[in-house]
Every structure is written in structure tokens, then in C-alpha cells.
Amino acid sequence: MSRQEHPHSRVEQHPHMILLQDDAFGKWLDWPSLVDALRRGHEAGVDAVERLLLSEVERGAEPQNHLLIWPAWRYGAYCGAKLVTVFPGNSGRAGAATNATVYVLFDGRDGRPLAVIEGAEFTLRKTAADSALAATYLARKDADRLLMIGAGAQAPAQIRAFCAVCPGIREVKIWNRSFAKARALAAALARDGIRPDAAGGEAHLSIEATDDLEGAVPQAAIISMATAATSPLLEGVLLSPGTHVDLVGSFTPEMREADDATLRRGSLFVDSRRFTVAATGDLAIPIASGVIRAEDIRADLFELAGGRHPGRTSDTEITVLKNGGGGHLDLMVAIALYERALPEAG
């Protein structure tokens, strides 16, 4: 989208660059507001997006430490970049996380720095809101059962985001290779609550762990996967008509969460054609083997939000969304958080 085509949004500025941390989302940008911000962000578009990976390579060894940079620019308004460090060797080391995230937002007209957003919550919320936005187009309106496959750091955000946009959800089941980890997450969510009373409360929401994946899949209206699987966990033959499948975890061409049958049975969608199709094994592997073609992907979120594709077309259609992320999403989230926080910035 060109500079002239953008509905020009006035860029508010604070006299000094502001710092926003993990608690900023709870203060200024709840789940419905965040999903709506992504919807409006896709309608407005982003002009330039790139990815950059730098790795520390020791002679004769595999890369160990990484710096990832996702810059994006909406001309005439905002630009920014997310920076992520990945240092696996920090695992178990007191005071040193394996991952660190910082987003820097600039005025896209004069380059002035506006905000620094730090903390893991930024990426967790962005990823989950991406999936939740897709669900507003692809999940059944009466979806009542959510199955979360994976119980890692991303899982709580996925569950909260889906429950925010699908108020009919009354049952959440969590499956993980470690049943103890799934049970611990279910207990934590039941204790802390998932959605406010205004959205339906917790009284009629069941949250439990399951060790029976084959039994849970056919019962689910929505299945979200956020795992580190390198071979498929989800068997498409088990899917019931009308299920929406959300694939998050496959973020390299070698990783895969869903099998060939899932892709054959489902109507395929992605969050971004540019960044998702070749970069994720859930699509790259079956495309390379001839199971599906890139042309089988019906739409991405830009097309869905822009009204160029209707999304789900029947209650029996199986829909599959591959969430691949991208710097355009980071920019949209940063803009929304900054504009919400600015009036109260000291």
C-alpha cells in the first residue's frame, strides 16, 4: 500500500521516549482491544517488512546464540523493529533468560524514537491475538470447546485470546507430552481466571488437562497447537466437520505439527502469504512433497480483514490457519499499545 493510500493517522508524541513493560497490556490493551487493533492494522496495511537473523558461529560448531530483527514501516506514520536475543546456554543460569525481547517504535515521518517496549509478553500477546483474529473469520460462531495442544509459555495466551473472541467457549482441554505440565497449566488458569465476568465469567467454563489426545480431537470445535514438534502430532482423520485448526508452533521449515490428512481435509489459510508459506514446515514440507500446492491457500489475514475473502463458508467446513508471525504484526501491536498508553505517560 502506498503512502497516499494510507488513511493518515496523526502521530501523537510525548516530549520524551516512553518505556513500556509487560504490565502495559493489562493496563491499556485487553484482548478484545488488541485483536481489534490487529484487524484495523491489516485494513491499513504495512508498506515495508523484513527479517534478519544474525548468529554467533564458533569454528566447527553449530550456531549457538542468535539475534533476530524484524523491522517494519507504515509510511507517513510509524516504523519500528523488534529485537530478540536467543541464548540457549542461559538455561538454568540465575538472572539470565534464554530469550530477551525489545521493541523500538519510531515516528515514521521524522525518525524520532517514541517508545521502547520490553518483555516477553509483547510476543506472546501478538502471536495469540494473530490466531484470535483469524478465528473471528474461520471458527464457527457457536464454537464451544477449545483443545490446546502444548502447555508451554505460549499456551496461556492462546487460551485467553480464543476465549476473548469466542464467548461461546465453555470447555477448555489441555494436552501436553508431559501430563503433569498440562495439569499444572489447567490448575493455574482455573485459579487465575481466563476472562472477566463481563465476557461471561468463569462459572460456566471448564478447564482441565487430558492425556487422551485421540479422544479430545474429535470433540473440539477449535484446536490450537503451540508445540516444538518436528513430526506431526495432529491426525487429520480425527477431525470433526466444522473444526477450526490453529497451527502456531512450526516456525522453521523442518518443524511440523499437523499431518497430510489435516491439510487435505481443511480449507487452508495463513496470516501472511509472504512470511508463512515457505518459512514453516507445516506448509513447506507438504508443498514440497506434492500433498498441497501454494495455490491451495485461500487467503491471508490481509485479504480476510479487507473483505476480499469471506472466511468460513459453512458450519461443516474444516478450516486450518497457519500462524507464521512477522514484523508487520509487531508494528501493529506496538502502535496500538503506544497510542493507548500515551495519554497517561508521565
The CA–CA distances, whole Å, from 211 to 11, 100, 179, 267 equal 50, 32, 6, 28
Count of CB atoms within 10 A of residue 21's CB? 12
Of residues 331 and 16, which shows the higher confidence score? Answer: 331
Asked if residue 81 lies in contact with residue 334, where contact means CB atoms within 8 angstroms, the answer is no
**What is the DSSP track for 150-193?**
--STTHHHHHHHHHHH-TT--EEEEE-SSHHHHHHHHHHHHHH-
Q: Where are the domains of the chain?
A: 18-122+329-344, 125-326
Mean pLDDT of 64-84: 95
Q: Which residues contact 153 (CB under 8 A, 6 or more apart)?
A: 120, 124
Indicate whether 246 pLDDT > 90. Answer: yes
pLDDT at 279: 82
Indicate whether 285 pLDDT > 50. Answer: yes
Q: To the nearest whole number, what is the mean pLDDT of the chain?
A: 91
- What pTM, to 2 d.p., does this model score? 0.90
The SS3 assignment for 261 reads helix
Indicate whether 196 pLDDT > 60. Answer: no
Matching CATH topology for 18-122+329-344 and 125-326? Answer: no
Mean pLDDT of 67-84: 96
Indicate whether 215 pLDDT > 70. Answer: yes
- Dihedral (CA of 288, 291, 293, 299) sign: negative
CATH fold of the domain at 125-326: Rossmann fold (3.40.50)
Domain 18-122+329-344: assigned CATH number = 3.30.1780.10
| Percent of the chain whose pLDDT exceeds 70 | 91
What is the pairing mode between strands 171-175 and 145-149?
Answer: parallel
> pLDDT tens across 118-151, in order?
988 999 999 999 999 999 999 999 999 999 999 9
> pLDDT tens across 10-53, in order?
555 656 799 999 899 989 999 999 999 999 999 999 999 999 98
